[in-house]
Structure 1
Amino acid sequence: MISRLAFGAAEVIDDPYPHFAAARAQSSVQWHEETGMWLAFGHAEANAVLRSRTLGRIWTPRWPEVAMPGFELIHRHSMLENEPPVHTRLRRLVAAAFARGHVERLRPRVAALAESLADQLADQFAEHDPGGPGVSGGSAGSGRSAGSGGPGVDLIAGFAEPLPVQVIAELLGIPESDRHLLRPWSNAIVKMYEYQVSPAQRAVAEAAASDFVAYLRELVGRRRRRPAADLISSLIAETDSAGGRLTEDELVTTCTLLLNAGHEASVNVVGNGVLALFGNPEQWQRLLAAEAAGRSLVESAVEELIRFDSPLQLFERTAISDTPIGDVTVRAGEKIAALLGSANRDPAVFDQPDQLDVGRADNPHLGFGAGIHFCVGAPLARVELQTSLRTLLRRFPALRPATDGLGRLRRSEFVIRGVTSLPVLLS
């Protein structure tokens, strides 16, 4: 079966799920002429792609004729782009550094940051309508109020984006004065994971990667001279059973991966998730009722929002040897991609998969991946996302979209799915 799915088509970017469903009904694995690889549409097949030990992440430059040394460096030494034994060594060192209590150390800080950002949002709402109705809830003693009116307040720029950027920056020990650099670098780099990339975008991505690498080398050097209570210092100090450490290139690459992946997905889950809740207002009301009754659905809701509109749509692997996936055999050297968004809507696994259900109990979504490349930062992401949703419910229970044209807010990329902005009001 040959797939005609056009990754760059506007209707696919706007809503890929009907297209996935139509393809999945024909065959769970299909050949994709446009990219020259197999696509796994079904949950079982995508899960097999992620877990198979005869499929690997094998880094090769997509544009070997174009010099991109910075971009190549942050991938060639990445645990995401390597297989055992290199991956095993890198992940063990990174996981051990994470295990030093960094996530738990940040839990109260995440809550404090979310509250501070909510205060700032409340101030912006109040500026739009100073005499409007007050915010329900609110932090103790904050005295903040908000109303509706005006063009709305951007939930992405004002809340969804700064929270995970600040959290991952604090985790790694990025000085506050430098944190404004991170998101532009990340945005430029992740555009390279799409399948339509212009020469201008390649040039911007290489400049961002080179600047990122230079910045992190200097920061790693400072932490070698003067360690601090941050993850970079823990990564420098961590040794394996043989006394081995991360090389400088591996340190820089690991920090880049954690900074990019550590906030990109969280930003997009919040954006996609709030957009989904706007489209299903009864689910927002269900969350509010559960909070009021003391039986929170926030944890299950976060998992459901990741499933319902996945921030990462595709994860590519290459066959090391002939590998059966579903009804096809992926020959050695061929590529196959797990379509995570399609897998997360597979009716063979999820009851009423196109329905948003914030109380969904049986939810084996693949939003964080699976197998050896399962997201190492998943625990921190869950803390951020649960805190974000709980804060929005408590502080802004009457949140609503400021425009009917929400589809126009979509990012123009297929692989990384998100919204560029999300203007909101209070009723």
Structure 2
Amino acid sequence: MVPFDPRAEAFLADPYPTFARLRAQAPVHDHPLLGMPVAVSHAACSQVLRGRELGRIWADAEPADAFTAFNLLHRNSLLEQEGPSHARLRGMVAGAFNRGHTARLAPWVSELADRLVRELAAAIDGDGSADLMATVAAPLPVEVIGELLGVEEPARSLLRGWSNAIVTMYEPDPGEARRAAAEQAAQEFVAELREFAAHRARQPGDDLVSDLVAAELDPDELVGTAALLLMAGHEATVNVVGNGVLALLTHRDQWERLLADPGLDARCVEELIRFDAPLQLFERTATVDTEVAGYPVPAGTKIAALLGAAARDPEAVDRPDELDVGRHPNAHLGFGAGVHYCLGAPLARLEVAATLAALRTHLPDLVLAGPTQRRPDFVMRGLRELRVGRG
């Protein structure tokens, strides 16, 4: 029996009742459609993410000669490394990332969020409603990643399209057209980043790529790192902002609570990540015969942590189906756990908090202005359109 169909419209609209049913039955379930067991309890998901006998073991997309750029980006990504190679690469990237980039970008991010929300407000005032996804949620993180990396126009405007195309390969059945588009986007990204890294080797700047070049990253590792930052940073923030604003506007008491107490911003960011997780699935592979919550996982077997299911586990979260912008502590796994905990988490938190502050300032009377359109994807859970107006 298949626990759920990740392509079903009703499931994509609201997977959380299904997750609750599965948690009540067992912490881990076989999933023939996904081709791997899935962990649904918080404890089991945490074990998948933290277990030393589980790792990221990259297998090239096939046929390999049709996905040379896509495979290059992932084979050399920090996310796909384990053991000494992971420790070496993570240390180099963390060293570069921690050279004050988040602090450097903080005022710029706040100004960017403020400008985009003012544009949203103007569009609402002019037309009665506007799409928050197109005006704020989508452009903000790609601008931030572009600024972090140092990528300028015209390439910066291409980053969002490249990211959107590449991440479709993570879905259970992307189809041939999207697979081809992902490889084309990967090829263009690799070519652009190689050229930009060569430029930064000659003329260093105050950006992350310059720091990675100075750290003498292998050229393939550099483009793999840049791709990971783009895809993880862009997709996560787009979906947290979209899913989060939708959650706040459909739980009006929590939006009013946030308006009355801006000091809740930091806790609200964590709650929005937990309540409707932007990344629903993270997979690892058993390096030896092991178990997860008593479920046997033989060596070489993939197993997935369903992060959205973990976030609604009543064993880990009090009143998990309620949105509580003041929730503390908050045991979500939205940024991962263990050795693969997200290096960009502080920057993502900064972006979401800046967006909330700008919305509170310029659109305290924000309301939904039409039905939402959800993306037809399971792994990357987000909205295609979120029309909003003034109440």
Q: TM-score, normalised by structure 2?
A: 0.98
Gaps of 5+ in 2: none
Q: 4+ residue stretches of structure 1 with deviation over 6 A? A: none
Name 2:255's counterpart in structure 1: 284
Contact 2:117 2:136 survives alignment (8 Å): yes
Task: Note the C-alpha offset of 1:127.
Answer: 1.6
Task: Note the C-alpha offset of 1:177.
Answer: 2.9
Name 2:295's counterpart in structure 1: 328
Task: Note the C-alpha offset of 1:66.
Answer: 6.0
Output the CA distance in 2 between the equivalents of 1:340 and 1:3: 19
Tell me the secondary structure at the aligned position of residue 383 of structure 2.
coil
Task: Note the C-alpha offset of 1:299.
Answer: 0.7
Number of residue equivalences? 391
Residue 163 (structure 1) aligned to one of 135, 140, 148: 140
Task: Note the C-alpha offset of 1:36.
Answer: 2.2
Name 2:160's counterpart in structure 1: 183
Task: Note the C-alpha offset of 1:65.
Answer: 6.2
Stretch of structure 1 that moved more, 257-266 or 343-352:
257-266
1:374 aligns with 2:341: yes
Residue type matched to 1:106 in 2?
A: L
Name 2:192's counterpart in structure 1: 215
Residue type matched to 1:422 in 2?
A: L
How many percent identity over aligned positions?
Answer: 54
Residue type matched to 2:284 in 1?
A: R
Contact 1:271 1:422 survives alignment (8 Å): yes
Q: Deviations over 1:157-199 (max 9, x none)?
A: 1111111111111111011332110111100000000001211
Gaps of 5+ in 1: 129-148, 239-244
Name 1:413's counterpart in structure 2: 377
Contact 1:3 1:30 survives alignment (8 Å): no
Output the CA distance in 2 between the equivalents of 1:118 and 1:202: 34
Trace 1:12-411 onto structure 2 (pairs within 5 A). Answer: 12-64=11-63, 67-128=66-127, 149=128, 152-238=129-215, 245-291=216-262, 296-403=263-370, 405-406=371-372, 409-411=373-375
Tell me the secondary structure at the aligned position of residue 174 of structure 2.
coil
Contact 2:237 2:348 survives alignment (8 Å): yes
Q: 1:337 to 1:393 in 2, by over 3 A?
A: same
Output the CA distance in 2 between the equivalents of 1:71 and 1:426: 43
Task: Note the C-alpha offset of 1:42.
Answer: 0.3
Output the CA distance in 2 between the equivalents of 1:203 and 1:216: 20
Output the CA distance in 2 between the equivalents of 1:88 and 1:11: 41
Q: 1:66 to 1:22 in 2, by over 3 A?
A: farther
Q: TM-score, normalised by structure 1?
A: 0.90
Tell me the secondary structure at the aligned position of residue 384 of structure 1.
helix
Task: Note the C-alpha offset of 1:117.
Answer: 1.2
**Root-mean-square deviation over aligned CA pairs:** 1.1
Tell me the secondary structure at the aligned position of residue 424 of structure 1.
strand
Q: 1:64 to 1:53 in 2, by over 3 A?
A: farther
Greater radius of gyration (CA): 1
Task: Note the C-alpha offset of 1:261.
Answer: 1.1
Residue type matched to 2:286 in 1?
A: A
Task: Note the C-alpha offset of 1:380.
Answer: 0.6
Q: Deviations over 1:49-99 (max 9, x none)?
A: 000111111110242366210100000000101111111111000000011
**Where is the helix percentage greater, Structure 1 or Structure 2?**
2
